[in-house]
Amino acid sequence: MKPRCVILGAGGHAKVVLDCLEATQKMEVAAVLDSNPKLWGQEILGIPIRGSDDLLTEIFREGIRLFFVGVGSIRETTVRQKLYEKALTAGLDSFALLHPKAICSPRTQIGKGSLLCAGAVLNVGVVLGQNVIINTGAIVDHDCRIDNHVHIAPGVTLSGSVWVQTGAHVGTGASVRQNIIIGKGAVVGAGAVVVKNVPAGAVVKGIPAR
């Protein structure tokens, strides 16, 4: 029997996670939870949306031990971080999820709760923390370090040895020069070209990003 898991969130990113889980065929999705009451009782890709994340303790009692955060981000990543921590507190654990069509060097480390989407590339020496999203078609080149809860959005290119600190969001299609540090909780706008370090909590955009 496959291990059972619960998905937190029932929006667009949850569909990406469910699709990826189906492609790996390693896990059974027992339920999806979402804080929006209008969704309760409905289905997402054929899986019932049972209720809010307040059901996590009940889910644990039913014997489900694994979860995956299915909420994405368009700037701040705090919602994803809170959900991840809430599920850990409820006693559940997460797992790394790699789409079979992602390209990943065997010389990488991927923390639990992290997602590598279709077409994403992780090159040699990359270290990913927990609850990280490397979204569709993003390139993370050699020796990058990506800390917990970071979202690298679709089509981003990180050159070698970039360090993205906890909870930062790097927007769709952004390019980041080698050896750059993107500080904790910073947001890089879609399409930006980052050539200088980004301070913690800053929002930068444009070419060059400022």
Ligand X SMILES: CC(C)(COP(=O)(O)OP(=O)(O)OC[C@H]1O[C@@H](n2cnc3c(N)ncnc32)[C@H](O)[C@@H]1OP(=O)(O)O)[C@@H](O)C(=O)NCCC(=O)NCCS
Catalytic residues: 142
- Our finding on whether 153 is near ligand X (CB under 6 A) is yes
- Our finding on whether 205 is near ligand X (CB under 6 A) is yes
- Our finding on whether 190 is near ligand X (CB under 6 A) is yes
Smallest separation (angstroms) from ligand X to the CB of 3: 27
Which distant-in-sequence residues (6+ apart) come within 8 Å of 9 by Cβ?
32, 33, 34, 69, 70, 71, 72, 83
Smallest separation (angstroms) from ligand X to the CB of 179: 22
Closer residue to ligand X, CB minimum distance, 49 or 153: 153
**Torsion angle of the four alpha carbons 97, 101, 104, 110, in this order, in degrees rounded to the nearest 10:** -10
Smallest separation (angstroms) from ligand X to the CB of 117: 10
Residue 41 CA to residue 199 CA, distance in Å, equals: 43
8 Å CB contact between 198 and 209: yes
Tokens of 37: 């009451």
State the pairing for strand pair 97-98/151-152. Answer: unpaired
Residue 170 CA to residue 140 CA, distance in Å, equals: 12
Q: Which stretch binds ligand X (CB under 6 A): 20-28, 88-96, 176-184, 202-210?
A: 202-210
Closer residue to ligand X, CB minimum distance, 172 or 175: 172
Q: Which stretch binds ligand X (CB under 6 A): 48-56, 93-101, 140-148, 188-196?
A: 188-196
- C-alpha distances in angstroms, 189 versus 107, 120, 167, 178? 30, 19, 15, 18
Tokens of 106: 């065997």
- Our finding on whether 72 is near ligand X (CB under 6 A) is yes
Smallest separation (angstroms) from ligand X to the CB of 63: 33
- Our finding on whether 172 is near ligand X (CB under 6 A) is yes
Closer residue to ligand X, CB minimum distance, 183 or 191: 191
8 Å CB contact between 153 and 190: yes
- Our finding on whether 203 is near ligand X (CB under 6 A) is yes
Residue 197 CA to residue 98 CA, distance in Å, equals: 29
- Our finding on whether 189 is near ligand X (CB under 6 A) is yes
The residues that touch ligand X, with contacts defined as CB under 6 A, are: 72, 74-75, 135, 153-154, 171-172, 187, 189-191, 203, 205-206
